Chains A and B, each alone.
Chain A
Amino acid sequence: MNKPDLLAQGIQAGDEQALARGLSVVENREEGWEALLERLYPESRRGFVLGVTGPPGGGKSTLVKRLVEEFRKEGVTVGVLAVDPTSPFSGGALLGDRTRMMDLAGKEGVFIRSMASRGALGGLNPGINDAVLLMEAFGSEVVIIETVGVGQAEIAITEVADMVVVVLVPGQGDEVQALKGGLLEIADLFVINKSDRGGAEELEIHLQWAVAGHEARLGRRPPIVKTAAIKGEGLGELCAGLREHRQRAAETALDEERSRRRADLALRAHLEERIGAAFLTPLLAAEEWHEAIERIARREISPGKSARRLLRKNFPDVWRCTRED
Protein backbone atom coordinates (compact mmCIF):
# COMPACT_ATOMS: atom_id res chain seq x y z
CA MET A 1 0.00 0.00 0.00
CA ASN A 2 1.31 3.47 -0.75
CA LYS A 3 1.67 6.29 1.75
CA PRO A 4 -1.59 8.19 1.11
CA ASP A 5 -3.54 4.93 1.36
CA LEU A 6 -1.89 4.04 4.66
CA LEU A 7 -2.50 7.53 6.04
CA ALA A 8 -6.12 7.50 4.92
CA GLN A 9 -6.67 4.12 6.52
CA GLY A 10 -5.07 5.30 9.77
CA ILE A 11 -7.15 8.47 9.85
CA GLN A 12 -10.38 6.58 9.28
CA ALA A 13 -9.43 4.11 11.99
CA GLY A 14 -9.06 7.03 14.44
CA ASP A 15 -5.25 6.93 14.68
CA GLU A 16 -4.16 10.30 16.11
CA GLN A 17 -0.68 10.18 14.68
CA ALA A 18 -2.01 9.44 11.20
CA LEU A 19 -4.29 12.49 11.49
CA ALA A 20 -1.41 14.64 12.76
CA ARG A 21 0.79 13.59 9.84
CA GLY A 22 -2.06 13.87 7.34
CA LEU A 23 -2.78 17.45 8.43
CA SER A 24 0.86 18.34 7.73
CA VAL A 25 0.79 16.58 4.37
CA VAL A 26 -2.20 18.59 3.14
CA GLU A 27 -1.12 21.85 4.75
CA ASN A 28 2.35 21.68 3.21
CA ARG A 29 1.11 20.16 -0.03
CA GLU A 30 3.60 17.34 0.50
CA GLU A 31 3.79 14.45 -1.94
CA GLY A 32 0.55 12.50 -2.01
CA TRP A 33 -1.68 15.27 -0.61
CA GLU A 34 -4.18 15.08 -3.44
CA ALA A 35 -4.38 11.30 -3.29
CA LEU A 36 -5.04 11.53 0.44
CA LEU A 37 -7.92 13.99 -0.01
CA GLU A 38 -9.36 11.86 -2.82
CA ARG A 39 -9.27 8.75 -0.65
CA LEU A 40 -11.03 10.48 2.25
CA TYR A 41 -13.52 12.66 0.45
CA PRO A 42 -16.31 10.27 -0.52
CA GLU A 43 -16.20 8.36 2.76
CA SER A 44 -16.07 11.15 5.28
CA ARG A 45 -19.21 11.95 7.19
CA ARG A 46 -20.14 15.60 7.43
CA GLY A 47 -19.43 17.05 10.87
CA PHE A 48 -20.81 20.24 12.40
CA VAL A 49 -18.33 23.05 11.77
CA LEU A 50 -18.47 25.82 14.34
CA GLY A 51 -16.55 29.02 13.65
CA VAL A 52 -15.41 31.19 16.55
CA THR A 53 -14.18 34.63 15.59
CA GLY A 54 -13.73 38.12 16.99
CA PRO A 55 -11.10 40.69 17.93
CA PRO A 56 -7.78 39.65 19.53
CA GLY A 57 -7.85 39.23 23.29
CA GLY A 58 -11.58 38.63 23.48
CA GLY A 59 -11.17 35.23 25.09
CA LYS A 60 -11.85 33.05 22.03
CA SER A 61 -9.41 30.30 23.03
CA THR A 62 -10.71 30.12 26.58
CA LEU A 63 -14.26 30.00 25.28
CA VAL A 64 -13.33 27.24 22.83
CA LYS A 65 -11.83 25.25 25.68
CA ARG A 66 -15.06 25.62 27.65
CA LEU A 67 -17.14 24.58 24.65
CA VAL A 68 -15.00 21.47 24.12
CA GLU A 69 -15.58 20.53 27.76
CA GLU A 70 -19.33 20.95 27.30
CA PHE A 71 -19.36 18.84 24.13
CA ARG A 72 -17.32 16.13 25.84
CA LYS A 73 -19.83 15.96 28.71
CA GLU A 74 -22.34 14.83 26.11
CA GLY A 75 -19.86 12.35 24.64
CA VAL A 76 -19.43 14.34 21.41
CA THR A 77 -15.97 14.05 19.80
CA VAL A 78 -14.36 17.40 18.94
CA GLY A 79 -11.61 18.59 16.66
CA VAL A 80 -10.19 22.08 17.09
CA LEU A 81 -8.32 24.05 14.42
CA ALA A 82 -6.81 27.12 16.06
CA VAL A 83 -5.38 29.67 13.64
CA ASP A 84 -2.85 32.35 14.61
CA PRO A 85 -1.17 34.88 12.31
CA THR A 86 1.97 34.22 10.30
CA SER A 87 4.56 36.98 10.54
CA PRO A 88 4.68 38.83 7.21
CA PHE A 89 8.35 39.52 7.86
CA SER A 90 9.89 36.19 8.88
CA GLY A 91 7.21 33.77 7.65
CA GLY A 92 7.28 32.26 11.13
CA ALA A 93 4.43 32.20 13.62
CA LEU A 94 3.80 32.00 17.32
CA LEU A 95 0.87 29.68 17.86
CA GLY A 96 -0.39 30.42 21.35
CA ASP A 97 -4.06 29.36 21.38
CA ARG A 98 -3.13 26.01 22.89
CA THR A 99 -1.85 27.76 26.00
CA ARG A 100 -5.47 28.31 27.03
CA MET A 101 -6.48 24.77 26.17
CA MET A 102 -3.74 22.68 27.76
CA ASP A 103 -6.15 21.11 30.26
CA LEU A 104 -7.56 19.32 27.22
CA ALA A 105 -4.20 17.80 26.17
CA GLY A 106 -4.32 14.03 26.27
CA LYS A 107 -8.09 13.96 26.92
CA GLU A 108 -9.97 11.35 24.95
CA GLY A 109 -12.13 12.51 22.07
CA VAL A 110 -10.34 15.86 21.62
CA PHE A 111 -7.84 16.66 18.88
CA ILE A 112 -6.34 20.14 18.77
CA ARG A 113 -4.22 21.47 15.95
CA SER A 114 -2.65 24.91 15.74
CA MET A 115 -2.27 26.40 12.28
CA ALA A 116 -0.53 29.52 11.04
CA SER A 117 -2.43 31.76 8.63
CA ARG A 118 0.40 31.45 6.05
CA GLY A 119 -0.50 34.51 4.05
CA ALA A 120 -4.23 33.87 3.74
CA LEU A 121 -6.40 36.92 4.28
CA GLY A 122 -9.61 36.61 6.23
CA GLY A 123 -8.25 35.04 9.39
CA LEU A 124 -7.89 31.42 8.28
CA ASN A 125 -5.25 29.06 6.83
CA PRO A 126 -5.26 28.53 3.04
CA GLY A 127 -5.87 24.79 3.49
CA ILE A 128 -8.54 25.10 6.18
CA ASN A 129 -11.18 23.22 4.20
CA ASP A 130 -8.86 20.27 3.66
CA ALA A 131 -8.00 20.22 7.37
CA VAL A 132 -11.71 20.15 8.24
CA LEU A 133 -12.21 17.21 5.89
CA LEU A 134 -9.42 15.24 7.56
CA MET A 135 -10.90 15.84 10.99
CA GLU A 136 -14.32 14.72 9.78
CA ALA A 137 -12.79 11.56 8.31
CA PHE A 138 -11.04 10.96 11.64
CA GLY A 139 -14.47 10.97 13.28
CA SER A 140 -14.75 14.41 14.88
CA GLU A 141 -18.47 15.08 15.21
CA VAL A 142 -17.88 18.77 15.84
CA VAL A 143 -15.01 20.75 14.32
CA ILE A 144 -14.36 24.12 15.97
CA ILE A 145 -12.36 26.64 13.97
CA GLU A 146 -10.89 29.49 15.96
CA THR A 147 -9.85 32.27 13.61
CA VAL A 148 -7.00 34.72 13.95
CA GLY A 149 -8.06 37.67 16.08
CA VAL A 150 -9.89 39.78 13.50
CA GLY A 151 -10.98 43.36 12.99
CA GLN A 152 -13.97 44.42 11.00
CA ALA A 153 -13.90 42.75 7.64
CA GLU A 154 -12.34 39.29 7.98
CA ILE A 155 -15.33 37.13 7.23
CA ALA A 156 -13.85 34.10 5.41
CA ILE A 157 -15.11 31.94 8.27
CA THR A 158 -18.67 32.20 6.94
CA GLU A 159 -17.60 30.20 3.91
CA VAL A 160 -16.28 27.30 5.97
CA ALA A 161 -18.46 27.09 9.06
CA ASP A 162 -22.03 25.89 9.59
CA MET A 163 -22.42 28.38 12.38
CA VAL A 164 -20.44 31.48 13.29
CA VAL A 165 -20.06 32.74 16.83
CA VAL A 166 -18.68 36.28 17.11
CA VAL A 167 -16.99 36.93 20.45
CA LEU A 168 -16.89 40.54 21.62
CA VAL A 169 -15.83 42.15 24.88
CA PRO A 170 -17.06 45.33 26.55
CA GLY A 171 -15.15 48.55 26.07
CA GLN A 172 -13.96 48.27 22.49
CA GLY A 173 -15.82 51.09 20.83
CA ASP A 174 -19.03 53.06 20.73
CA GLU A 175 -22.39 52.28 19.18
CA VAL A 176 -21.21 53.36 15.73
CA GLN A 177 -18.87 50.34 15.68
CA ALA A 178 -21.86 48.08 16.22
CA LEU A 179 -23.59 49.53 13.16
CA LYS A 180 -20.78 48.89 10.72
CA GLY A 181 -20.90 46.20 8.07
CA GLY A 182 -18.68 43.13 8.02
CA LEU A 183 -17.90 41.11 11.10
CA LEU A 184 -21.08 41.99 12.94
CA GLU A 185 -23.25 40.89 10.05
CA ILE A 186 -21.93 37.34 9.93
CA ALA A 187 -22.81 36.25 13.46
CA ASP A 188 -25.31 33.46 13.98
CA LEU A 189 -24.80 34.13 17.67
CA PHE A 190 -23.03 36.86 19.61
CA VAL A 191 -21.06 36.23 22.75
CA ILE A 192 -20.27 39.13 25.05
CA ASN A 193 -17.35 37.59 26.90
CA LYS A 194 -15.72 39.01 30.04
CA SER A 195 -19.23 40.20 30.82
CA ASP A 196 -18.31 40.51 34.49
CA ARG A 197 -16.48 43.68 33.47
CA GLY A 198 -18.17 47.04 33.24
CA GLY A 199 -19.85 48.00 29.98
CA ALA A 200 -21.42 44.62 29.10
CA GLU A 201 -24.97 46.00 29.36
CA GLU A 202 -24.20 48.95 27.08
CA LEU A 203 -22.62 46.64 24.51
CA GLU A 204 -25.65 44.39 24.65
CA ILE A 205 -27.98 47.31 24.00
CA HIS A 206 -25.88 48.51 21.04
CA LEU A 207 -25.82 45.00 19.61
CA GLN A 208 -29.56 44.61 19.99
CA TRP A 209 -30.02 47.75 17.94
CA ALA A 210 -27.60 46.49 15.32
CA VAL A 211 -29.08 43.01 14.98
CA ALA A 212 -32.60 44.40 14.75
CA GLY A 213 -31.43 45.93 11.48
CA HIS A 214 -30.23 42.55 10.25
CA GLU A 215 -33.46 40.80 11.02
CA ALA A 216 -35.18 41.64 7.75
CA ARG A 217 -32.32 40.17 5.74
CA LEU A 218 -31.65 37.11 7.89
CA GLY A 219 -35.21 36.31 8.87
CA ARG A 220 -34.04 35.95 12.43
CA ARG A 221 -32.31 37.85 15.17
CA PRO A 222 -28.99 36.35 16.26
CA PRO A 223 -29.13 35.68 20.01
CA ILE A 224 -26.74 37.55 22.31
CA VAL A 225 -25.23 35.53 25.16
CA LYS A 226 -23.20 36.96 28.01
CA THR A 227 -20.35 34.82 29.31
CA ALA A 228 -17.31 34.96 31.54
CA ALA A 229 -15.38 32.07 30.02
CA ILE A 230 -12.61 31.91 32.63
CA LYS A 231 -15.19 31.46 35.39
CA GLY A 232 -17.33 29.18 33.26
CA GLU A 233 -20.33 31.52 33.43
CA GLY A 234 -23.02 31.65 30.74
CA LEU A 235 -22.04 28.36 29.11
CA GLY A 236 -25.43 26.73 29.59
CA GLU A 237 -27.08 29.55 27.70
CA LEU A 238 -24.41 29.46 24.99
CA CYS A 239 -24.82 25.72 24.45
CA ALA A 240 -28.59 26.14 24.29
CA GLY A 241 -28.03 28.78 21.59
CA LEU A 242 -25.82 26.39 19.61
CA ARG A 243 -28.36 23.57 19.87
CA GLU A 244 -31.20 25.82 18.80
CA HIS A 245 -29.24 26.97 15.74
CA ARG A 246 -28.38 23.42 14.72
CA GLN A 247 -31.95 22.37 15.02
CA ARG A 248 -33.24 25.27 12.96
CA ALA A 249 -30.50 24.73 10.38
CA ALA A 250 -31.52 21.11 9.99
CA GLU A 251 -35.20 21.98 9.70
CA THR A 252 -34.80 24.79 7.21
CA ALA A 253 -32.72 24.94 4.07
CA LEU A 254 -29.85 26.60 5.97
CA ASP A 255 -27.77 23.42 6.20
CA GLU A 256 -27.93 22.87 2.46
CA GLU A 257 -27.17 26.52 1.79
CA ARG A 258 -24.07 26.31 4.01
CA SER A 259 -23.00 23.06 2.34
CA ARG A 260 -23.21 24.73 -1.04
CA ARG A 261 -21.29 27.75 0.19
CA ARG A 262 -18.58 25.51 1.59
CA ALA A 263 -18.43 23.59 -1.69
CA ASP A 264 -18.17 26.88 -3.58
CA LEU A 265 -15.22 28.03 -1.49
CA ALA A 266 -13.45 24.67 -1.70
CA LEU A 267 -13.78 24.56 -5.47
CA ARG A 268 -12.65 28.15 -5.88
CA ALA A 269 -9.68 27.61 -3.55
CA HIS A 270 -8.52 24.55 -5.49
CA LEU A 271 -8.92 26.34 -8.82
CA GLU A 272 -7.12 29.46 -7.67
CA GLU A 273 -4.29 27.41 -6.22
CA ARG A 274 -3.78 25.60 -9.52
CA ILE A 275 -4.14 28.71 -11.64
CA GLY A 276 -1.71 30.53 -9.39
CA ALA A 277 0.83 27.71 -9.55
CA ALA A 278 0.53 27.38 -13.33
CA PHE A 279 0.51 31.05 -14.31
CA LEU A 280 1.50 33.37 -11.53
CA THR A 281 4.29 31.55 -9.68
CA PRO A 282 6.64 31.26 -12.69
CA LEU A 283 5.94 34.86 -13.65
CA LEU A 284 6.72 36.15 -10.14
CA ALA A 285 10.17 34.60 -10.42
CA ALA A 286 10.84 36.01 -13.89
CA GLU A 287 13.17 38.90 -14.70
CA GLU A 288 10.40 40.86 -16.47
CA TRP A 289 8.39 40.85 -13.24
CA HIS A 290 11.15 42.64 -11.39
CA GLU A 291 11.63 45.07 -14.27
CA ALA A 292 7.90 45.87 -14.20
CA ILE A 293 8.04 46.48 -10.44
CA GLU A 294 10.93 48.92 -10.87
CA ARG A 295 9.15 50.84 -13.61
CA ILE A 296 5.87 51.05 -11.67
CA ALA A 297 7.71 52.21 -8.55
CA ARG A 298 9.34 55.00 -10.64
CA ARG A 299 5.88 55.85 -12.02
CA GLU A 300 7.00 55.26 -15.59
CA ILE A 301 4.07 52.94 -16.24
CA SER A 302 0.78 52.33 -14.46
CA PRO A 303 0.20 48.98 -12.72
CA GLY A 304 -2.82 48.35 -14.95
CA LYS A 305 -0.93 48.91 -18.17
CA SER A 306 1.97 46.84 -16.95
CA ALA A 307 -0.40 43.97 -16.10
CA ARG A 308 -1.93 44.14 -19.58
CA ARG A 309 1.51 43.96 -21.17
CA LEU A 310 2.57 40.99 -19.07
CA LEU A 311 -0.66 39.23 -19.98
CA ARG A 312 -0.29 39.96 -23.66
CA LYS A 313 3.25 38.68 -23.76
CA ASN A 314 2.90 35.61 -21.53
CA PHE A 315 -0.71 34.55 -21.86
CA PRO A 316 -2.04 35.98 -25.15
CA ASP A 317 -5.20 33.84 -24.99
CA VAL A 318 -6.10 35.23 -21.59
CA TRP A 319 -5.22 38.73 -22.75
CA ARG A 320 -7.61 38.44 -25.72
CA CYS A 321 -10.44 37.41 -23.35
CA THR A 322 -9.92 40.35 -21.03
CA ARG A 323 -9.58 43.16 -23.58
CA GLU A 324 -12.08 45.89 -23.03
CA ASP A 325 -12.93 46.64 -26.65
Chain B
Amino acid sequence: MGKKIRVLIAKPGLDGHDRGARVIAQALRDAGMEVVYTGLRRTPEQVVSAALQEDVDVIGLSSLSGAHIGLFSRVAELLMEKKRTDILLLGGGIIPDKDREVLMAKGFDGIFTPGTTMKEIVTFIEENRGTAK
Protein backbone atom coordinates (compact mmCIF):
# COMPACT_ATOMS: atom_id res chain seq x y z
CA MET B 1 0.00 0.00 0.00
CA GLY B 2 2.95 2.32 0.57
CA LYS B 3 3.31 5.72 2.10
CA LYS B 4 1.44 8.68 0.62
CA ILE B 5 2.19 12.28 1.49
CA ARG B 6 -0.66 13.48 3.73
CA VAL B 7 -1.51 17.17 3.79
CA LEU B 8 -4.02 19.18 5.82
CA ILE B 9 -5.34 22.32 4.13
CA ALA B 10 -7.08 24.76 6.46
CA LYS B 11 -8.39 28.28 6.58
CA PRO B 12 -8.05 29.70 10.05
CA GLY B 13 -9.98 32.80 11.05
CA LEU B 14 -13.00 34.55 9.69
CA ASP B 15 -12.30 35.29 6.06
CA GLY B 16 -14.70 33.54 3.76
CA HIS B 17 -12.66 33.10 0.60
CA ASP B 18 -11.58 29.51 0.17
CA ARG B 19 -11.27 29.26 -3.61
CA GLY B 20 -7.48 29.44 -3.36
CA ALA B 21 -7.34 26.78 -0.66
CA ARG B 22 -9.54 24.50 -2.74
CA VAL B 23 -7.45 24.97 -5.86
CA ILE B 24 -4.34 24.05 -3.87
CA ALA B 25 -6.10 21.02 -2.36
CA GLN B 26 -7.04 19.77 -5.83
CA ALA B 27 -3.57 20.35 -7.23
CA LEU B 28 -1.98 18.37 -4.39
CA ARG B 29 -4.52 15.57 -4.91
CA ASP B 30 -3.58 15.51 -8.59
CA ALA B 31 0.06 15.24 -7.54
CA GLY B 32 -0.82 11.99 -5.76
CA MET B 33 -1.14 13.30 -2.21
CA GLU B 34 -3.91 12.58 0.30
CA VAL B 35 -5.36 15.96 1.20
CA VAL B 36 -7.55 16.51 4.25
CA TYR B 37 -9.61 19.62 3.61
CA THR B 38 -11.12 21.18 6.72
CA GLY B 39 -13.09 24.08 5.27
CA LEU B 40 -13.61 27.65 6.39
CA ARG B 41 -13.43 29.50 9.70
CA ARG B 42 -11.35 27.22 11.85
CA THR B 43 -9.53 28.09 15.04
CA PRO B 44 -5.78 27.37 15.25
CA GLU B 45 -6.60 24.85 17.99
CA GLN B 46 -9.01 22.96 15.69
CA VAL B 47 -6.46 22.97 12.89
CA VAL B 48 -3.68 21.52 15.03
CA SER B 49 -5.95 18.97 16.69
CA ALA B 50 -7.13 17.75 13.26
CA ALA B 51 -3.57 17.67 11.88
CA LEU B 52 -2.35 15.51 14.77
CA GLN B 53 -5.25 13.02 14.53
CA GLU B 54 -4.75 12.80 10.77
CA ASP B 55 -0.98 12.26 11.18
CA VAL B 56 -0.21 14.61 8.30
CA ASP B 57 3.24 15.41 6.96
CA VAL B 58 2.28 18.91 5.90
CA ILE B 59 -0.06 21.68 7.08
CA GLY B 60 -1.03 24.35 4.57
CA LEU B 61 -2.78 27.48 5.90
CA SER B 62 -4.50 30.05 3.74
CA SER B 63 -5.42 33.59 4.66
CA LEU B 64 -6.59 36.53 2.59
CA SER B 65 -7.94 38.72 5.37
CA GLY B 66 -4.79 40.27 6.80
CA ALA B 67 -5.07 38.38 10.10
CA HIS B 68 -2.33 35.93 9.16
CA ILE B 69 0.31 37.00 11.70
CA GLY B 70 -1.86 36.26 14.72
CA LEU B 71 -3.55 33.12 13.39
CA PHE B 72 -0.57 31.53 11.65
CA SER B 73 1.73 32.24 14.60
CA ARG B 74 -0.69 30.55 16.97
CA VAL B 75 -0.64 27.40 14.82
CA ALA B 76 3.17 27.42 14.89
CA GLU B 77 3.16 27.84 18.69
CA LEU B 78 0.71 24.99 19.20
CA LEU B 79 2.85 22.69 17.05
CA MET B 80 5.88 23.70 19.10
CA GLU B 81 3.98 22.90 22.32
CA LYS B 82 3.06 19.48 20.96
CA LYS B 83 6.69 18.93 19.88
CA ARG B 84 5.58 18.40 16.31
CA THR B 85 7.84 20.80 14.44
CA ASP B 86 8.63 17.84 12.16
CA ILE B 87 5.37 18.69 10.36
CA LEU B 88 6.09 20.91 7.36
CA LEU B 89 4.25 24.19 8.00
CA LEU B 90 3.28 26.30 4.98
CA GLY B 91 1.29 29.48 4.57
CA GLY B 92 -0.30 31.11 1.58
CA GLY B 93 -2.45 34.03 0.55
CA ILE B 94 -2.01 37.78 0.68
CA ILE B 95 1.09 38.08 2.82
CA PRO B 96 3.42 41.09 2.57
CA ASP B 97 7.16 40.46 2.36
CA LYS B 98 7.87 41.95 5.78
CA ASP B 99 5.38 39.52 7.35
CA ARG B 100 6.94 36.60 5.57
CA GLU B 101 10.10 37.06 7.59
CA VAL B 102 8.14 37.29 10.84
CA LEU B 103 6.36 34.01 10.06
CA MET B 104 9.51 32.23 8.96
CA ALA B 105 11.08 33.24 12.29
CA LYS B 106 8.06 31.78 14.09
CA GLY B 107 8.70 28.38 12.53
CA PHE B 108 7.10 28.43 9.09
CA ASP B 109 8.91 26.44 6.42
CA GLY B 110 7.52 28.28 3.43
CA ILE B 111 5.21 31.16 2.51
CA PHE B 112 3.62 31.14 -0.93
CA THR B 113 2.02 34.27 -2.33
CA PRO B 114 0.09 34.97 -5.57
CA GLY B 115 2.10 34.09 -8.66
CA THR B 116 3.51 30.88 -7.20
CA THR B 117 2.97 27.94 -9.55
CA MET B 118 1.42 24.69 -8.39
CA LYS B 119 4.53 22.87 -9.49
CA GLU B 120 6.69 24.99 -7.17
CA ILE B 121 4.49 24.07 -4.20
CA VAL B 122 4.38 20.36 -5.07
CA THR B 123 8.15 20.24 -5.54
CA PHE B 124 8.73 22.14 -2.30
CA ILE B 125 6.61 19.65 -0.37
CA GLU B 126 8.22 16.62 -1.98
CA GLU B 127 11.70 17.89 -1.25
CA ASN B 128 11.20 19.22 2.26
CA ARG B 129 8.71 17.00 4.06
CA GLY B 130 9.96 14.98 6.98
CA THR B 131 13.06 17.12 7.45
CA ALA B 132 12.96 17.71 11.19
CA LYS B 133 13.85 21.21 12.32
Contacts and interface: CB of A to CB of B under 8 A. Distances in A.
Interface of A: 16-17, 19-21, 23-24, 27-30, 86-87, 89-96, 98-99, 102, 105-106, 111-114, 116, 118, 126-127
B45 A29 contact: no
B54 interface: yes
Contacts of A23: 55
Chain A's interface: helix, strand, loop or mixed, by majority?
mixed
Contacts of B38: 98-99, 102, 105
Contacts of B82: 17
A9 to B, nearest CB: 18
B24 to A, nearest CB: 11
Interface string B46-83: 11011011110000000000000000000000000010
A168 to B, nearest CB: 25
B20 interface: no
A112 B52 CA distance: 10
Interface string B1-32: 11110100000000000000000011011111
Contact of B39 (A28, A99, A111, A126): A99
Q: Which 9 residue pairs spanning A and B have beta carbons closest together?
A: A99-B39, A106-B49, A92-B29, A105-B46, A20-B55, A92-B32, A91-B32, A95-B36, A24-B55
Contacts of B129: none
A98 B33 contact: no
Contact of A102 (B26, B29, B31, B42): B42
A95 B35 contact: yes
Nearest to B37: A96
B55 A28 contact: no
B53 A112 contact: yes
Interface of B: 1-4, 6, 25-26, 28-39, 42, 45-47, 49-50, 52-55, 82
Contacts of A29: 1-2
Given A28-B1, A99-B38, A102-B46, A94 B53 contact: no
A113 B54 contact: yes
B55 A93 contact: no
A99 B52 contact: no
A38 to B, nearest CB: 19
Contacts of A113: 53-54
A94 B55 contact: no
B53 A20 contact: yes
Contact of A98 (B6, B28, B36): B36
Contact of A116 (B34, B49, B52): B34
A24 B49 CA distance: 16
B52 A94 contact: no
Given A90-B30, A95-B36, A98-B37, A106 B1 contact: no
Contacts of B28: 92
A112 B51 CA distance: 10
A21 B37 CA distance: 19
Contacts of A114: 34, 36, 54
A126 B1 CA distance: 9
Nearest to A120: B1
Nearest to A127: B1
A313 B9 CA distance: 49
A106 B46 contact: yes
A95 B37 contact: yes
Contacts of B35: 92-95
Given A24-B55, A28-B3, 14 more contacts: A17-B52, A28-B1, A92-B4, A92-B28, A94-B25, A95-B37, A96-B37, A102-B42, A102-B50, A105-B49, A112-B50, A114-B36, A114-B54, A127-B1
